[in-house]
Amino acid sequence: MAELPDSVSIREVGPRDGLQNEEPIPTDAKVRLLDALSRTGVRRIEAVSFVHPRAIPQMADADEVWQRAEKADGVRYSALVPNTRGAQRALAAGFTEIEVVVSASDTHNRRNVNRSTDESLDDIAELIDLLHGAGATAEVIVATSFGCPYEGDVDPRRVAAIVDRVARDGADRVAFGDTTGMGTPRRVRELVTAVRDRNAHLPVLLHFHNTRGTALANMLTAMELGVTEFDASVGGLGGCPYAPGASGNLATEEAVHMLHDMGIDTGIDLDALIAAAELAETLVGKKLPSGVLRAGPRTR
């Protein structure tokens, strides 16, 4: 086995990516979950998205949630935006770490934002300039990086070409989303290698779904390739509304349980995280996919 990192950074995406794909819950509940996660020791949290309420009603109260949340020292909070208006709202709310998304699959991109991948990349170039001008960083998330629910396989070279473009346009970092849960260790190795061969300097984060049960194996493969930043969602909340059947993000507590057992530091208190996952179950009113919640004795 290749040498593994001593530590891994996990960005908790439950408050945004997770709740965005569930039935809407009250603002008070969103604030409670965000605050609970802020107390787990997680160092990065994707807090909200600034989208039109007709498109994503679950995020209609993003401004209020963020205003009322207790911001913990040492935690970096980020927001997802779809366009210039969303970016302006995020900047006005005080965010300095902002994410924008484009799909590697043209069909998925059209279903998601009603424009082609190339058109979205043109918009993102302008957004990067806007964000940098306001002193914020821009992370470009490439959705459907490992496969598309409409087009099937996605060539890693296509994803690498998208990274070429956003790197030229000034993106500060990139993330790759396994939107359909089609990712496997082979696909992870091929994608990371293709991107690193051309843009080794650009920070990389991976976002796995566990639709087909491969998320932890994918994470291990990525770590063997030197990747140390990952998204995960408390309780396994979330999925993608534009990828039929692609439910279930990698559960944060499952990832942390595995990493700690391997001696890899995350800075996260696993018991506090499990308590947050139990809270999330209560707030959304259903059992969540996480196996750690019901798996018996806890370690570390």
- Residues annotated catalytic, as ranges: 240
CA dihedral over 186, 188, 194, 196, signed as positive or negative? negative
Q: How far apart are CA 153 and CA 46, in angstroms?
A: 28
Helix 84-93 and helix 117-133, axial crossing angle in degrees, nearest 10: 30
Which residues are CB-contacts of 201 (< 8 A; sequence separation ≥ 6)? none
What is the Rg, in whole angstroms, of the alpha carbon atoms belonging to the chain? 18
- 77: Cα separation from own chain's centroid: 12
Looking at 212-269, which runs of residues are DSSP E strands? Answer: 229-232
Phi and psi angles of residue 25, each rounded to the nearest 5 degrees, phi first:
-120, 160
3-state secondary structure of 177: strand
CA-CA distance, 51 to 59, in Å (whole number)? 7
Question: What is d(CA 147, CA 108) in angstroms, rounded to the nearest whole number?
Answer: 10
Beta bridge partners of 231: 11, 207
Is 16 in contact with 80 (CB distance < 8 Å)? yes
In DSSP notation, 268-292 reads --HHHHHHHHHHHHHHHTS--S-SG
Closest CA to 178 of 196, 201, 153: 153
β-pair partners for 76: 44
Between CA 235 and CA 254 the distance in angstroms is: 8
How many whole angstroms separate alpha carbon 227 and alpha carbon 192?
9
